[in-house]
Amino acid sequence: MASDRLFAEKKDPVGNFAFDRDTALVFDDMLNRSVPFYTETQRMIGEIAQKREALENVLILYQLWENEELLQRAGFRSVDVFFKWYNFCGMLALK
C-alpha cells in the first residue's frame, strides 16, 4: 500500500478570510439563498416596528387597583374579581 503524501510538503499558509463586498458580489442573491425568507423577515420586522410606534402611549395598561378605582369613581358600588389568570382578570361591578 502506498503511503499518503498529501501533506508531505509544506504549503503556503492561508490568509484570513474577509467577507467583504467582493465576496458578496460572487452571489448576487446570497442573502436570499443563505437566509431562508430573509426579505419576508425584514418586511415583517418593519411592519412590527410601525405597529409598535403607532401604539406607543395609546395602549396604557392599568393595574388591578386602578381599574377598581375607575369603576368606583364611575358610580359602581361593588367591584369584585371573579377570575384571575396571569395578567388577565374578569371583574364584576354592580351599580
Range of the domain at 24: 20-60
Residue 28 lies in a domain: yes
3 vs 70 pLDDT, higher one: 70
Q: How many domains does the chain have?
A: 2
54 and 33 within one domain = yes
Note the pLDDT of residue 33: 74
Position 1 confidence tier, pLDDT thresholds 50, 70, 90: low
First to last CA, the chain: 98
**Co-location of 54 and 67 in the same domain:** no
84 with 68, same domain: the answer is yes
| Arithmetic mean of pLDDT, 47-54 | 90
Q: Quote the CA–CA distance of 26 and 19 in Å, as a whole number.
A: 11
89 assigned to some structural domain: yes
Query: Domain check: are 66 and 56 in the same one?
Result: no
